Chains A and B, each alone.
Chain A
């Protein structure tokens, strides 16, 4: 594949920083076992001579039949580019340069997000949240006409209904939800979310914060999931989540102009969304486990 990539890149000197040649290629593959073997992505980083960081990133898949993943990635990058064009937030993401599909090979060529994984520098939590919130605030201001007011209880019950629970009745979850501190009607903007903002998908450099991996980028009427996902999965100090979530979420909702007073109900929705995603990937919990784990997360018994 790299000979094909070289041919394409040589036709676009504007993509490169310097003279370009000779190019070298660093390949990274994701795990590829069992049910995930179809989903596995392969990344090829293109290095120019004497450059300390790569210039381009090529994303592809092992099997052409899994090419929808690459098409979605390219489409999502276009969405991000469109939504951030004209602002400084455009630099938080890679930019789509080219999409190649000859019916046998499929890949997308993107620019590079030059940074190190947040996982290796968790002390920079506040920098990430500040930048992320600023981006979401920018989007929310643009989406004035697309706000949603909805009954959160109905949303939760629909979500519970859609979960594949290991056993007993979803009523256990309904009951637990009703005991949480709730807003029944919330008003939120419909904006783009990253959708998979794990600590590994956040890169930090001296100058910027970047979000990578664009498989789940989409518009949502329920923003906040990214922040929940990021805080929940950041292996920070003990009790970081229960001690800080209220502060971070209330600030986030205030900045994006949302009308939310009690966040626990929404956190439960985000948690169920994460459970639903895991269900789709083969994980399965019963209602009691969901309640126990969520309670432990927010430290409410």
Chain B
């Protein structure tokens, strides 16, 4: 799988393309404890003990956007920023091979163990990031960047986050086979939820601010640049066009790209209205409002996130 065989080392059977860099919502200590528990008491006890903390990890429908993409037992998939395998595992059940790449050794160790426990022999794990250019050209039918593109700017390899995002997308384009697909799950820059919660920067409202102001504010508050760029639909389209991707379809994943129980075709407002009108939304006001396309357009404009299907 590795084009140039440029591993820097192999630890516990896991090849490294670059040095270990831990990230994640769970602390490193907690994940180390979880791995010890699996080793000492077994997988079943781990699942029971961690069921409320790691439930998210075991939701099989985290990769349900895949129904929008043609995949088969012959498909080879790269899960870039694979984390604990929330996407890799459900995909591995339906495709030929999943290559999981992540900068965290512990997370890859967890995924390797999980794959073994679940009898999935078609998952390969690697430590590294997409900028290591670790794989051969045109070797994947699908590349997944779920919750990754906004973070690739957090690197000292590029001076500007957008440059880093474009470079990562170009690498993906090169890695994709002809007619292959890239799937990007990512937040909307103007998501309503960012008026209530923190942006990736850890601060409020930074995604809404002009970049220069967000940068100034982040430097002032945290002593670092604003590196986690998200965009509106138009912004993403522009980004993908710059990379040479012209066949791009947007979906609105609900409740969010991390758990896409519903995937609404962005360009079909009637589908959005149908969904709201036929489900158990009881509010008469909401049911009335969805009759107005302008309201739906506004709702769509401020939707939390996008599921973006890109064909090479």
- Residues of chain A whose beta carbon lies under 8 Å from any beta carbon of chain B: 1-4, 24-34, 37, 40, 42, 44-45, 47, 50-54, 60, 62-64, 104-105, 115-117, 119-120, 200, 203
Contact = CB atoms under 8 A, between A and B. Distances in A.
A120 B94 CA distance: 36
A40 B270 CA distance: 26
Interface stretch (B30-38, B61-69, B209-217): B61-69
Q: Give 9 closest A-B pairs by Cβ, nearest first.
A: A32-B60, A24-B265, A32-B61, A27-B263, A24-B268, A29-B61, A37-B60, A119-B280, A29-B64
A28 to B, nearest CB: 5
Interface in B39-94: 51, 55, 58-61, 64-65, 67-70, 72-73, 90, 93-94
Contacts of A1: 67-70
A26 B60 contact: no
Given A1-B68, A116-B278, 9 more contacts: A27-B65, A30-B261, A34-B58, A44-B67, A51-B270, A52-B270, A63-B93, A104-B94, A120-B280
A168 to B, nearest CB: 27
B94 to A, nearest CB: 7
B67 A27 contact: yes
Nearest to A62: B60
A66 to B, nearest CB: 10
Contacts of A3: 70
B281 A26 contact: no
26 contacts: A1-B68, A2-B70, A24-B267, A25-B68, A26-B263, A29-B260, A31-B261, A37-B58, A37-B60, A40-B61, A42-B64, A42-B67, A44-B67, A45-B271, A47-B274, A52-B270, A52-B274, A53-B274, A54-B274, A62-B61, A62-B64, A63-B94, A64-B94, A104-B94, A117-B279, A117-B280
Contacts of B278: 115-117, 203
Contacts of A119: 280, 282
Contacts of A37: 58, 60
A3 B141 CA distance: 15
B248 interface: no
Contacts of B69: 1
A93 B151 CA distance: 47
Contacts of B90: 62
B289 interface: no
Contacts of B60: 32-33, 37, 40, 62
Interface residues of B, number: 36
B73 A104 contact: yes
A282 to B, nearest CB: 13
B277 interface: yes
B279 A33 contact: no
Given A44-B67, A200-B280, A25 B265 contact: yes
Contact of B61 (A31, A45, A51, A116): A31
Given A40-B60, A44-B67, A29 B262 contact: yes
Contacts of A105: 72
Interface in B170-223: none
A121 B271 CA distance: 21
Nearest to B251: A27
Interface string B262-303: 111101101101110111111000000000000000000000
B94 A26 contact: no
A30 B63 CA distance: 13
Nearest to B71: A1
Contacts of B70: 1-4
Q: Which of B73, B93, B274, B282 has the most chain A CB atoms closer than 10 A to its own CB?
A: B274
A200 B262 CA distance: 17
Given A24-B268, A47-B268, A117-B280, A60 B275 contact: no
B64 A33 contact: no
A60 B67 contact: yes
Contact of A26 (B51, B59, B262): B262
Nearest to A200: B280
